[in-house]
């Protein structure tokens, strides 16, 4: 997904889906998040607000069940796995740079609000991609993603980064241009 950040301009967030074993451990919580995403009869809810509400919904569901914190909790097991599988690609001094999501947060590439919104979208992506029926999950993700600049593809972060436009410096570099010795 693309995120317009206050400090670093446009950044790209790439995430892979959680594995089957993590899904099976947290299927109940992801299933409840999925159900809440489709709680409204208005389809605009799915595209507009559900991605923004997925992380708070997951946290609330897990806290009510008493399994948010701890070594076997949702925060440690599921959320940390989603974060582990996510990279942030941003314009650095030498072109595109890729760092893990948690590093991007520590280096303030993403501020607190950008982190929260991105994490919520990642929880939404995870819930839809693991819980939705196979023949419907792409249409659900495309519907929400069309409003949020998401791209669905089967590329790892490095392959995705390679496909990004080449970064060029804008403006005058300060170097003087040599005069041509050609006569026109």
Per DSSP, what are the bridge partners of residue 4?
10
Question: Does a structural domain hold residue 129?
Answer: yes
Question: Does a structural domain hold residue 178?
Answer: no
Q: Judge contact between 36 and 104, C-beta under 8 A.
A: no
Calpha distance 171→97 (Å, rounded): 22
Residue 12 belongs to domain spanning: 2-162
- List all residues 6 or more positions away from 51 whose beta carbon is below 8 Å from its beta carbon: 120, 121, 124, 125, 144, 148
Query: In this predicted structure, what is the pLDDT of residue 112?
Result: 95
Residues of the chain predicted below pLDDT 50: 41-42, 44-45, 171-184
Question: Does a structural domain hold residue 177?
Answer: no
pTM of the predicted protein model = 0.80
Question: Does a structural domain hold residue 12?
Answer: yes
Q: Judge contact between 11 and 90, C-beta under 8 A.
A: yes
Question: Does a structural domain hold residue 126?
Answer: yes
The helix or strand, by DSSP H or E, that contains position 5, with its residue range, turns out to be strand 2-5
Task: State residue 69 phi and psi, 5-degree precision.
Answer: -95, 170
Tell me how many domains the chain contains: 1
Query: In this predicted structure, what is the pLDDT of residue 64?
Result: 96
Report which DSSP code applies to 156.
-
Query: In this predicted structure, what is the pLDDT of residue 174?
Result: 47
Question: Does a structural domain hold residue 105?
Answer: yes
Rounded to 5°, angle at Cα 77 from 107 and 147: 60
The total of other beta-carbon atoms located within 10 Å of residue 175's CB is 6
Question: Does a structural domain hold residue 34?
Answer: yes
Question: Does a structural domain hold residue 106?
Answer: yes
């Amino acid at each position: 997904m693309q995120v317009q950040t206050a400090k670093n301009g446009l950044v790209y967030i790439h995430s892979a889906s959680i594995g089957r074993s993590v899904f099976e451990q947290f299927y109940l919580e992801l299933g409840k998040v999925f159900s809440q995403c489709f709680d409204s009869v208005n389809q605009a809810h799915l595209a507009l607000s559900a991605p923004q509400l997925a992380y708070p919904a997951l946290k609330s569901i897990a806290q009510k069940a008493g399994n948010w914190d701890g070594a076997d909790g949702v925060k440690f097991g599921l959320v940390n796995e989603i974060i582990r599988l996510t990279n942030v690609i941003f314009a650095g001094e030498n072109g595109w740079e890729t760092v893990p999501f948690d590093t991007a947060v520590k280096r303030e590439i993403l501020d607190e609000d950008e982190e929260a919104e991105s994490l919520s979208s990642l929880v939404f992506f995870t819930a839809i991609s693991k819980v939705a029926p196979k023949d419907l999950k792409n249409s659900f993700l495309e519907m929400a993603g069309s409003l949020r600049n998401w791209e669905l593809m089967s590329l790892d972060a490095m392959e995705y980064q390679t496909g990004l436009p080449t970064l060029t410096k804008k403006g005058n570099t300060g170097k003087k241009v040599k005069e041509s010795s050609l006569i026109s």
